[in-house]
Structure 1
Amino acid sequence: MKMKHLISIKDIGKKEILKILDESEKMEELLKSKKVIDILNGKILATLFYEPSTRTRLSFETAMKRLGGNVIGFTDIKNTSVMKGESLADTIRVISGYADIIAIRHPSEGSARLASEYATIPVINAGDGSNQHPTQTLLDLYTIKREIGKIDGIKIAFVGDLKYGRTVHSLCYALSLFDDVEIVFISPEELKIPREIIEDLNKKENIKYSEKSNIDLTGIDVVYMTRIQKERFPDLNEYQKVKGIYKLTRELIYNKNLIVMHPLPRVDEIDSNVDELPQAKYFKQSFYGVPVRMAILKMLLEK
C-alpha cells in the first residue's frame, strides 16, 4: 500500500480498496487451511483502546496473532498514564518505541489523525468518535462482495442511527466509489444522515439516494441495521424519544436474496428469530473482520 497509515476511508481509492479485498480473500483461505502463518513473526501490534470494544479489538488481536505477531496494549485508561494527564501525543511517541504498528480507538473525532502525526510507525484508526471507522468499512465491503457477489449495482438500506453511526458515514463514502449504487436512508428526523454526507453524494453521478422514516425493503439487496447509540446523545431525553424505534422482524424480510448486516453490538433492533434466517449475515460479517484486518496489517507492515 502506498500510504503509511489507515485513518479514513477517504485516504484510499477504489483501486486500493479492491486490492485490500483481494488480499482479504487470500487471508481467509489461509485461515481455512489451518496452516501456521508467520508472515508477521517478530512484529508487535499495540492496541490503544480509549473506548470499550469487543469485536474490533479482539479481531485485531486475533488477526495479528494469526499472522504470527504479538500484541500489547490497553483497554481501560484507568490503568494508564492518561489518568495522570499524559497527552495523546506523548502516549503515541512512547508507544512508537515499543511496537511496529498501532490500532487506536478514541472517543474524540480527529484523534487517530492526530496520533498519526506523532507516530513513527503505522497507525490504524479503529474508530474515532462518530467520525470514521475504516477497517469496519472494509470488512463491510468484503461481506457484501462475498455474500452478494458484487458491490457495483447494489441497492442498500441503512436503518437507524445515521447521525452518529460512523460505520454508516465511512461506508457511504466507500460505496460512492462504485458504479450504479443506490442508497436508501431510513431514520427518524432526529437521526438523519449528516448533511455534509448528502452534499458529498450530490457530487457523485454514479450513486442515487433517498431518505425515508419507515422501513420498506422493496428491491433492497442489503439492509444495514444500526444500534441507536445511547452513549453518543448529549441529552438522554432525546435518546428516549427514539429508543427502539426500529425493529427488523422476519415479516419484513420477504426477499430471499436480501442480506442483513449489522456492525454489532445490537440491542433490540433485530429480532433474535431473524438469526436463524439464511439472510442473516451479521455474525459472518463479524468473522470477516479477522481476514480483512489480517490483510491490512500485512499490507501496512510488509514493505
Structure 2
Amino acid sequence: MAEVRYQDLDYGITVIDAEFHRPGVAASYLVVERGRAAFVETGTSLSVPGQLAVLEKKGIPRESVDYVIPTHVHLDHAGGAGELMRHLPAARLVIHPRGARHMIDPSRLIAGAAAVYGEEAIRRHYGEVVPVPAERVMEAGEGDEVDLNGRTLRFLDTPGHALHHFCVVDEAGRGIFTGDTFGISYREFDNEQGAWIFPTTTPVQFDPPALHASIDRLVAQGLDYMYLTHYGRVGGVDRLRRLLHEQIDGMVALGREHAAAGARRKERLIGGLMEQMLAQLERHGCTLPVSRRRELLTMDVELNVQGLEIWLDREAKTAASA
C-alpha cells in the first residue's frame, strides 16, 4: 500500500487520512489513553490497511484497541467497520441504536448507497462492506459513556444530518468528534481567517430544525475543538457555528424558491447552491482560482442537492396530508 498520511495532534489523538476519493476528504481518528486505544470513524474497507499501519508505527498491539466508533452508518464513516473489527480481536463496535442493525447486516445500507452513488462506484470507492458479529456490537444512545482506560467518551444524539447519528464528546481531548453534524471543512480553503465550513445534507434524512439544534448543542458543550470527519480538527467553533446556521437557512430558502420548478428543479438547485457557496468563499477571502473552488465543491454540491430534494418532497407530502 502507499504510505499512509496521518498527523499526530495533542491529547493522544491522531488524524488518519482515509484516502477517500482524494487526500484530505475523510478522516479516521485514533485516540490513545495510556496504551489503550479507540478508533473514531473507520472510513471504508479500503482505509483499513492505513489504520493498521498507524497502529504498527506507534507500537500499539491490535489487542489494545478497545473500541471502534463510527458516528453514523454512512459508508464513508462506517463502511470499513466490519473489516477493521476483523483485525482487532478485543474491540467492540459502538454505534447509534438506529444504526446497529445495519452494521450487523449491511445489505440495506449497501443498497441505499448504491441507489445514491451507483453500484460500480460503491465497489470502486468503498470496497467490501463486511458484517460485524452481533455479539461485538454495543449500542450507545444519548448520554451514554464508554471508558477508555480512564478517559470518558460521552455520546450525544445529534439528528439533522441523519437519524442514526451521534457525536462523541472527549473532554480530555478538549473537543467533539462530530461526524457530519458540524459540517465539512476542506483544508484547501483555510486562510488567515481560519477554516471555512459548510453543512452536509447528503440523502436521505436532512432535517433543518434538528440540524440547527444539534449544532448549537455541540457548541454548548464549551469545548475548544471540533474533530471533523471531513476534514481534521478546527477551532474558532462559535464563528463556524454562525456560518453553518447561515448556510442551512440559505439552502432552505433556495430549496423553497425552486420547489415547484418541476424537471428543472435539480439543475436550478445545483446552480444556485454552487453560487451561494462561491459567494461565501469570496467573503472568506479565498484566493484559489474559481475553477479550483468549483472542482473541490462539485461532488458535495450535487450530494447536498440530492438531500435537499428529498427534504423538499417530504415537506410537500406532509403539507398535502395535513
TM-score, normalised relative to structure 2: 0.32
Greater relative CO, 1 or 2 (CA 8 Å, sep 6+): 1
Taking structure 1 as the reference length, the TM-score comes to: 0.33
